[in-house]
Structure 1
Amino acid sequence: MSTGSQRGPHDRLRPADYGYDENRFGAPYDPSGGFDPAAGRSFSQHFSDARYGGMHPGHDDEADWPTSPGIPVIPEATRPPSVRLTAVISFFFGPFGAAPASGAAHRAREAGAPSGRYWGAFLLGWLAHLLVLSIVLGVIIAGLRGQSGAAAPEASAATSAPASSSATPTPTPTPTPTPVAFPDGATQCSESVAVNSSTSCQFALNVETAFRASTAADGVVEVTATSPVTNRTYSMSCVVATGAVTTCTGGNNAVVYLR
């Protein structure tokens, strides 16, 4: 025997049908969001209004919070690139920093920022790069010149030392004494022999040969000589005078001058 009202197979069951007291506990949560024909809203809305109180439709909770000046937030994609980074790249890589500078200028134009300052940073970094490079090259070249300059005097000293040690002193030339003049009127037979008018040069040359063979230094020296003209031998007395002409006399008034 059935109790209560009869329900059809499609009738929706309520929590009260299972003994749930809605007046005490409120409307239960309905995940399906079922619609309550009596209340004109879903069970979940009815439960929320019963537990937390109803809210005016269209009410904005954020409007109740105090307002403050807004801080503009620039997205990372729209921020202009760093000018300092462009200068640093150009300093280390020189002319190769033009590519990063061009890309930074393009991104700055897209973000609405001026792009000329990136090219200025590129030129500044490149000039600093050239300055440092020239200083380094100058120091290296100065060091190489100093080493070559120190080696050159050592090499010249090494090559000049043997030349100075092997050089021989040049002898001082001895002045040639002026020959003593023969007496006036004498006939010169050679550089060292002269005769008077009574003596032949052939006989005078034989007298000179005999006198040189005696090796007399001073005094009177007796020599004999043959005359090719008369084929006779004559005795001649030679007076040796230092620094003057030696005079030999004898024979047939023969006079021979030797120097």
Structure 2
Amino acid sequence: MGNLSGKTALVTGGSRGIGRGIAERLGRDGALVAVHYGSNAAAAEETVASIVAKGGRAFAVGAELGVDGDVEKLVAGLDAGLGAREETAEKPALDILVHNAGLNFMGRPIEVLTPEEFDRMVAVNVKAPFFLTQALLPRMREGGRIINISSVSTRVASSGGSIGYPLTKGALDVFSRTLAKHLGPRGITVNAVGVGFTHTDMTAGALADPAHRESTVSRTALGRVGQAADIADAVAFLASDDARWITGTKVDVSGGVGL
């Protein structure tokens, strides 16, 4: 296996799209991967099966984020999957935490975004990563990795005026920098990955429109739409020992959107 053998990883939103690509890549590199999902258990099991079929190790963990008790349920599932024994064994350790799960109400400028939509995005995109990290920090090994999936939308304004999602990702960027300094003495690195236009379930509809796709490609320096593997490879690098001296930064993995 690869350079993550002996490591354990949790990928939130790991059942589909970018999250699945990340989970599969970390599994291929040797990590035992907890594939988190919110509602689609079948997709999570498909991802687990894909990792196992390639010689890796993985298990699914279900918990809807952004609701009461989400962190507790996710952590309990993680412990069960890692084989923790209640009361008699130490809590299982974690090496790599990837905050990938996110919610985006697309095409919602300030004039129409509702308080309910805003609160929901904050709950999933900011509050859940914050308190999940808080819960898991005591079991993060020294020299661990925390990787937050952010967005290019924090530096390139949306042509449609979409504002709520970029705001939440901006908060995640601040979280990354501050946590990187705080956890430096433990050798834990914290970085963000700025994702650009990427083929996912969420973007499939928009990219099916030739005009929209052409506009998207024209704004990207490398002249194509990103694939999940493009993001996963960058995350795998940040999770590896090769990235041991990189922390508190945001890696733009967008193909050069808006340059």
Relative to the length of structure 2, the TM-score reads 0.16
Task: Considering Cα pairs closer than 8 Å and 6+ residues apart, tell me whether 1 or 2 has the greater RCO.
Answer: 2
Q: Rg larger in 1 or in 2?
A: 1
Relative to the length of structure 1, the TM-score reads 0.16
